Amino acid sequence: MTIQTAPASLAPSEEAADQPIEIRKFDAPLGAEVIGLDLSKPLSKADFARIHRAHLDHHVLVFRDQRITPDEQVAFSKRFGPLQIHVLHQFGLAGHPEVLIVSNIVENGKPIGLGDAGHFWHSDLSYKDKPSLGSLLHAQELPAIGGDTLFANQHLAWDALPAHLRNAVEGRVAEHTYLAKYAELQQRSPWRPNLSAEQIAQVRPVTHPIVRTHPETGRRALFVSEHFTTRVIGVPEDESRALLAELFAHSTRPEFIYRHQWRERDMVFWDNRSVMHLAAGTPDDQRRKLYRTTIEGDAPF
């Protein structure tokens, strides 16, 4: 399910004043901090263009100290495309179905959000016909310890792929399914309810190229993950398992990774066509809550 793009009044405004933006690249294989931008203010056409370009160049953008409302997060997110509603719609923010609550907090015996989101390496919604272009995560409540998020640059993973693996995956497609690890996650946490028939119908298996081409930059990237990719099409099962295991191990090598340590009111915006991510985990006695919006992308090619 998607939410349509914002009306013209929410589009980048040529009349809005430019803000004193600085893009500061991290000393890491990806990522940059956007300094001087207040997302609660109207964004000029020129500023939007700079953010768009920086997102393509660095794959992960960090906006510090963003004192924005869910409405403002949704409005900014929609400028990049239609928004997608997560299949676990029961964890949507009240009044904002396109905002997924990512949280380990339990109130009145019930989880208020998806507490084990990101337990395995993945690219958001790769199990859909049109996987996510990008996701935005806004910190609401952070733990005193833990809670980091890791991002792995899949363009670098492709660039460094050994020749024998390149030959093995060139031109091949793989199956992605939301249900790949669902039963396993259900056994270990309270955050995975039984899915209705309607929810299961929303996440039927799909196939995508193992190596995708970024539709805006033309760069190639690996596009498989331990969370959602189940098999290589047209390959015997044992060979498929062995090939995927090699790809999973290669794609998350330390030299491809940026580790984000969250600060109060951080907004992080990543490109799911370029990176995978992983939640490093939060101690059970520490509360964590963030709001996520997810932008629909194109069919991978």
Residue 228 belongs to some domain of the structure:
yes
* β-bridge partners, 206: 176
According to DSSP, the β-strands at 60-63 and 32-35 are: parallel
Residue 270 belongs to some domain of the structure:
yes
Overall domain count for the chain: 1
- In the residue annotation, 122 being an active-site residue is answered as yes
pLDDT for position 193: 80
- Whether 47 and 20 have beta carbons less than 8 Å apart is answered as no
pLDDT for position 10: 46
Q: Measuring CA to CA, which residue among 107, 106, 109, 85 is closest to residue 2?
A: 85
Confidence of residue 9 (pLDDT cuts 50, 70, 90): very low
Q: What percent of the chain has pLDDT over 70?
A: 95
For residue 253, pLDDT over 80 is answered with yes
Sign of CA dihedral 32, 133, 298, 40: negative
Residue 5 belongs to some domain of the structure:
no
pLDDT for position 13: 57
pLDDT for position 14: 57
**Residue numbers of the domain that contains 248:** 20-296
Residue 221 belongs to some domain of the structure:
yes
- How many other C-beta atoms lie within 10 A of the C-beta of residue 27? 6
pLDDT for position 163: 97
What backbone phi and psi angles, to 5 degrees, belong to 289?
Answer: -145, 130
What backbone phi and psi angles, to 5 degrees, belong to 18?
Answer: -65, 145
Catalytic residue among 59, 86, 122, 155: 122
pLDDT for position 192: 84
State the chain's mean pLDDT as an integer. Answer: 93
- In the residue annotation, 58 being an active-site residue is answered as no
- How many other C-beta atoms lie within 10 A of the C-beta of residue 101? 24
Catalytic residue among 47, 124, 266, 271: 124
- Whether 116 and 225 have beta carbons less than 8 Å apart is answered as no
pLDDT for position 12: 59
For residue 263, pLDDT over 90 is answered with yes
pLDDT for position 16: 84
Confidence of residue 11 (pLDDT cuts 50, 70, 90): low
Secondary structure letter of residue 51 according to DSSP: H
- In the residue annotation, 55 being an active-site residue is answered as no
Catalytic residue among 59, 260, 277, 288: 277
Residue 127 belongs to some domain of the structure:
yes
Residue 30 belongs to some domain of the structure:
yes
| Torsion angle, alpha carbons of 8, 14, 17, 22, to 10 | 100
- In the residue annotation, 172 being an active-site residue is answered as no
Sign of CA dihedral 121, 71, 261, 159: positive
Neighbouring residues of 183: CB distance < 8 A, sequence distance ≥ 6: none
- Whether 100 and 124 have beta carbons less than 8 Å apart is answered as no
Higher pLDDT, 191 or 295: 295
Q: What percent of the chain has pLDDT over 90?
A: 84
pLDDT in tens, 130-145: 999 999 999 999 999 9
Q: Measuring CA to CA, which residue among 239, 275, 280 is closest to residue 257?
A: 275
Residue 214 belongs to some domain of the structure:
yes
Token readout for 25 is 């690249």
Q: Burial-class residue 261 by CB neighbours within 10 Å (0-12, 13-18, 19+).
A: exposed
The domain that holds 94 is classified in CATH as: 3.60.130.10
For residue 186, pLDDT over 90 is answered with no
pLDDT in tens, 75-112: 999 999 999 999 999 999 999 999 999 999 999 889 99
Q: Measured between alpha carbons, how far is 270 from 55 in angstroms, rounded to an integer?
A: 7
- Whether 153 and 272 have beta carbons less than 8 Å apart is answered as no
Confidence of residue 6 (pLDDT cuts 50, 70, 90): very low
Residue 225 belongs to some domain of the structure:
yes
pLDDT for position 36: 95
Neighbouring residues of 254: CB distance < 8 A, sequence distance ≥ 6: none
Q: Measured between alpha carbons, how far is 205 from 203 in angstroms, rounded to an integer?
A: 6
